[in-house]
Amino acid sequence: MLDVKDIHTYYGKSYVLQGVSLSVKKGSTIAMMGRNGMGKTTLIHSIMGIARPSQGKIIFNGMDITHLPTYRIARSGIGFVPQGRYIFPSLNVNENLQVAARNNVSDWDIEKVLSLFPALRDRLNHQGDQLSGGEQQMIACGRALIGNPELLLLDEPSEGLAPLLIKEVTQVLLQLKASGFSVLLVEPNLNIVKRVADYVYVMSKGRIVYESTPEQLLQNTDIKSQYLGM
């Protein structure tokens, strides 16, 4: 479904991604791990057209999206849940979800999002800045889903959440996996990765330095120590 082929991305003069390649098969959950500042978010931004690769290609469903504007990438079928959530603080829950709805597609609607996140049902009229971090994360994920994507990009969905809410995030990821969603997940929590991911890439200094199944990563103490700080 997604092929990232040898992309190189700069922020100004800073050479961030230095030849990154990976693939996401239809219906699979792929995890990206690594220490902070290694280029994981830049990879997600490169796929979404927020940061422009200077070299390489990004192919989605057979279409070259490398140089498309972000809104066209989103319309092509890629949903994005950014690190830090970035919901609209002055809009209520219902409005935050409605702003991303696509009227010509009916698979995911507000009712289906609320069935996945029932805690939001009683908060529909509350503004974004009145919600907890966990509730804001639910909105960010629901906003991406209501656009009816084929592929979902999630950038550290467990960041800043209490352990109980991390369990809820894990359950949502498992439900999406069971429904056949394709997911590229940036996630530092190995407990989440080992439960939801089919395959794992490890990034360091803008390069993929290791890839394996979660089970193989769990057994590789050298990789965990050198690149994940475990």
Q: Supply the pLDDT for residue 106.
A: 61
- Average pLDDT of the chain to the nearest whole number: 92
Structure confidence at residue 50 as a pLDDT band (50, 70, 90): very high
Q: Supply the pLDDT for residue 22.
A: 97
Q: How many domains does the chain have?
A: 2
CATH assignment at residue 209? 3.40.50.300
Residues 157 and 201 in one domain: yes
Residue 170 in any domain: the answer is no
At residue 78, the 3 state secondary structure works out as strand
Domain that holds residue 32: 1-77+150-165+180-230
- Most confident listed range (132-141, 150-159, 198-207): 198-207
Residues 139 and 155 in one domain: no
Q: Please give the model's pTM, rounded to 2 decimal places.
A: 0.91
CB 41 within 8 A of CB 9: no
4: pLDDT strictly greater than 90: yes
Residues 101 and 134 in one domain: yes
Residue among 219, 214, 188 nearest 200 (CA): 214
At residue 110, the 3 state secondary structure works out as helix
pLDDT per position as a tens digit, 147-201: 889 999 999 988 878 888 888 889 989 998 998 899 999 999 999 999 999 999 9
pLDDT per position as a tens digit, 210-225: 999 999 999 999 999 9
- The maximal CA–CA distance of the chain, rounded, in angstroms, is 50
Residues 229 and 191 in one domain: yes
